[in-house]
Amino acid sequence: MSSDCIFCKIISGAIPAKKIYEDEDFIAFHDIKPMAKVHFLIVPKLHVDTLKDCDDSHQVLLGSALLLAPKLAAEQGLAGFKTLINTGREGGQEVFHIHIHVFGGGKTDA
Ligand code: 5GP
Ligand code: ZN
């Protein structure tokens, strides 16, 4: 838990989110600024800043996070989907708590 991390605040319930899934290790919720008709984030409850900060000890966590993507995408009605992990400021990362974007269903009208 990082006290100034927005995703840690969502995990703790301090900030609301449109949650679609939660278990012991992960939470998934709709992105506040969707880039597709369906756009959600899979977020480990463990605070890790970026993919660059992961090592062998995170192997199961990363694998489990990725395996949630098809399961949750199917639940959201997506026959296919894209995944994205932005890494580092130069990689387009804005929230420094590792997460996987999952989107599909076509572009938003916005
Ligand atoms: P990044 O660029 O770090 O990969 O993506 C961060 C994503 O988190 C962005 O798509 C942004 O819209 C989303 N986001 C940022 N703050 C919040 C929030 O408070 N709630 C939700 N649901 N999404 C957020
Ligand atoms: Zn965090």
Q: Residue 110's pLDDT is what? A: 54
What are the 10-residue block averages of pLDDT along the chain, 110 residues in total? 88 97 98 97 98 98 98 96 98 98 83
Ligand with an atom nearest the CA of residue 1: 2
Q: Could you tell me if 30 and 75 are in contact, meaning their C-beta atoms sit under 8 angstroms apart?
A: no
Q: Residue 43's pLDDT is what? A: 98
Ligand with an atom nearest the CA of residue 99: 1
CB atoms under 10 Å from CB of 39, counted, come to: 21
Q: Residue 1's pLDDT is what? A: 66
Indicate which atom in ligand 1 lies nearest the CA of residue 85: 4
Q: What is the spatial distance between Cα 50 and Cα 66, in angstroms, rounded to a whole number?
A: 15
Pocket mutation for ligand 1, best pick of 32, 53, 97 (most atoms within 8 Å of C-beta): 32
Q: What is the spatial distance between Cα 11 and Cα 44, in angstroms, rounded to a whole number?
A: 9
The residue whose CA is least distant from atom 20 of ligand 1 is 32
**pTM beyond 0.85:** yes
Measure 86 CA to ligand 2 centroid, in angstroms.
15
Question: Any residues with CB less than 8 A from the CB of 4 and at least 6 apart, and which?
Answer: none
At 63, list the tokens. Answer: 């694998």
Q: Residue 14's pLDDT is what? A: 96
Q: Which domains does the chain have, with CATH numbers?
A: 6-104 (3.30.428.10)
- Tallying the residues shown for the chain, one arrives at 110
Strands (E), the chain: 19-22, 26-30, 38-44, 82-84, 100-104
